[in-house]
Structures are given as structure tokens and as C-alpha cells.
């Protein structure tokens, strides 16, 4: 870290501004959405339904951003991109959210044995 601060201040600023801060905000919004908004989306009527849609849109935008960064790395590194376990860890959360949110919209998680919950 000290080497980056001393030798490459522009790289440090780029990493913090373009990678670290968006990821921290993404994680925070994901925790708030999954822990609070998703659970209450049906109970308080219109307010939580609107907030639910807003959070879904923001999380999808973040997923597109992070998957775009990963696709950029993939095009630069070729198949050697898949040799690092860290790249898989970067891909998993956005892909899971891209799977979860459409299933939520169609109501897959609202029924148990064909009976609507909530």
C-alpha cells in the first residue's frame, strides 16, 4: 500500500474511486435490500413496493457496472483470467443478483407448495 501511495498516486486514486467505493456502496445497498426492504416489500403497501423497485434498479445497475469491469479484464487477459480464484469471487455476487432479482419480480419466492405467502 505504501508503495502505491508513494509511486503511483493516480493508480491509488483510481482504485479507490472507481473500484473500492462503488463496491462498498454495492455491498451496503445489497445488505439493506436483502435484510430490510425485501422482507417488508408487501407489508407497508405502496412505500415499500416503490423502494423495492428502486433498490432493484440500483442493484442491477451496479451488477452491470461490475460485470462490465470483469468483461474488460477478461478481454485483456484472455483465458488466463479464469486461472485466479479472485476473479470467480468477483463474478459470483453480480451473477447471483442477476438471477435473484428477475425471480423475485415474477414471484418465485412468494409461494410455498403453491400457496402464496405474505
Measured distance CA(82)–CA(102) in Å, rounded: 27
Measured distance CA(88)–CA(96) in Å, rounded: 12
* Greater pLDDT, 104 or 12: 104
**Segment 12-71, tens digit of pLDDT:** 777 778 888 898 999 899 899 988 888 887 776 788 888 889 999 999 999 999 999 999
* Domain ranges (residues) in the chain: 2-113
| Nearest to 109, CA basis, from 99, 57, 30 | 99
| CA end-to-end span of the chain | 49
Residue 55's pLDDT is 92
Residue 111's pLDDT is 64
Using CA atoms, how far residue 9 sits from 23, 36, 61, in Å, is 20, 38, 28
Asked if residues 12 and 5 have their Cβ atoms less than 8 Å apart, the reply is: yes
**pLDDT(9) > 60:** yes
Amino acid at each position: 500500500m505504501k508503495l502505491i501511495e508513494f509511486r503511483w498516486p493516480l493508480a491509488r486514486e483510481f482504485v479507490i474511486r472507481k473500484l473500492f467505493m462503488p463496491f462498498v456502496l454495492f455491498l451496503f445497498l445489497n445488505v439493506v435490500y436483502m435484510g430490510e426492504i425485501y422482507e417488508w416489500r408487501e407489508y407497508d403497501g405502496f412505500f415499500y413496493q416503490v423502494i423495492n423497485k428502486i433498490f432493484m434498479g440500483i442493484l442491477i445497475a451496479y451488477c452491470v457496472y461490475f460485470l462490465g469491469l470483469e468483461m474488460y479484464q477478461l478481454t485483456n487477459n484472455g483465458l488466463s483470467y479464469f486461472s485466479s480464484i479472485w476473479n470467480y469471487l468477483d463474478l459470483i455476487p453480480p451473477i447471483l443478483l442477476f438471477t435473484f432479482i428477475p425471480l423475485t419480480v415474477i414471484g418465485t419466492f412468494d409461494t410455498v407448495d403453491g400457496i402464496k405467502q405474505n
